[in-house]
Structure 1
């Protein structure tokens, strides 16, 4: 009988990895990727090329590609920079301090990353829109006739939404790596005469660099392929390459240009995924065995209190307030319904929730909330089962080095950055 104790389990796993060909492990993931991603994508490119030969392409089309591509890179770089400015101090606080409510705050900072784009757009509209809480309060306090804060359909709201989405990536990836670093290394540098900033710059940052670069690259890739945030919050003036693909393919029916834009986007996405795969394999590891929570300390000094509460306040304003504004707006009536001139009472209401269970227009597409929730759970469950099955095979193969794994790892991540 095989010994499955700790040393025996490790030896059994190593023997199993050596005994299975990588091609056998990749058969199912590659088959799924080919049938549901590569073949449909190939058909789209084929139709685009055929339409291009029929309609003809000229060099002027390069300008129509360069304009959205340039803005896409510009807004992604700005969004990544602001995400770094918010996420890096937050990663430090989560990695080095213990304070009341830390677990709840960690969950709340993760929540934006899994929210649908429509919910995020509704949240920012409830907070910063023309009838959002900020404008409503300012109009009432200063007796204004119109909303003073005009952020919708602007570059600022796009960057805010991207930071809202992706700050958790910095907190998770960089914060986890930071937590694993031995704080005594920085302490030794301080004893040898280095200032706090120099110790961070010459000791901590080099050890964090692989994790930091991989996190920033992942954030940039998500910002580069952003679609819903740009379309719902930015408006038609801000067309990224993703939005331009949507406009050309579904509204203008210009398949040659849509196919060319898709090819350009996939090329950039492939380069980003290759770079991310290379960096992800170089993440820092602890230089000595560490007990969980060994490098954390309580918030006792006034400087620590100032840093922690400043970071917590920023995270609360940026990440929690939009969700709180949407929740509060769902139970508050601020204006009359359509057709109502006067006689309505503002304040607390549950009418919006009651309307979820009423199909007033008799629409064939109406789905009761219970059925919608059940459908979501069923789809999510099936997705988890399929993802775990194929992901385990791919991960088992990627655990050992090889040329095949280096080639297929970026290909496996390509759908993550493909156009919606």
Structure 2
């Protein structure tokens, strides 16, 4: 990927684009919310659809000239319905957070009450953090994971719902490594006459492949990102029953955004078609088995994992028991110097600043896309733990970096 047209007109930007491709090729991408899309998705997202305004929906646009935009969006919708079994899908949100916003606009009024998982326990900003639009426009309280097990405290959630009386309960998480019991949360929401929004941003691909149970048909609304484990064009989507379809579509446009990013929707359509192929199920299963291998290795090295392991694509390590003087940020920066890119993360019962948290989060979707298997992830786990044990040791970082180079050469990207 040399970007010759950009090189001719804007060499500085071309340097940055080529540099990013090289960075992805030469490092191990282990941020749990990242993946590597196919060249077909990249091509669709770079298409001439970026020129087209298509406000509205297929067959009901505010502008002319939308016949091919209609074809593209309908393909994305139809494929999403087949993947997740939803009655209605809106593929226009620009991100998972905007998909959540669309649901809030469709179902709630300003000042209504939302019950969601605390951010430090694995929740997400768009579920109600005080610094986010949700926290500014709605009354929000949180449930937590069990302090001893690291699993969702479902009884505590129900008790909190009964005392708080929310208008919406939010499930689905950004740093929770276990499968979610959607029915138990739905029952808690129904007990207080609340809506249930299941945000599967991180596990869209795992749900599509049947590797994890689906909240579609259980929760009132399901939102997701389209660029994480599903490996499609960057953006978000909303799924719901037909009874909520009109309200959701109205909330997205004109409620919160104008023209959809049709080139991104094209990327979604391509990625959804790829996910409908039989080999995608194998990929999703391997994402989980790779994460399990990584978790076992980190545990063997003495790291304390939240919930003791994983059922999903990610692991969350709490450094406090084994490395009380080391922060997640120190580990993140040292690993990046060695070519392994993951992120510092808060952990349940966090005692430090979110900018210098006590944990690190690592995911396997991108490495699995590159062809890494369980043995590879065990070795990667060994490398991570070497750095955790000695984040300031230049000799260790150099040795790890050399091995990362060998691993990336063995699993080429975008060749």
Q: TM-score, normalised by structure 1?
A: 0.26
Larger C-alpha radius of gyration, 1 or 2? Answer: 1
Q: TM-score, normalised by structure 2?
A: 0.26
| Structure with more contact order per residue of length (Cα contacts < 8 Å, sep ≥ 6) | 1
Larger strand fraction of residues = 2
Larger helix fraction of residues = 1
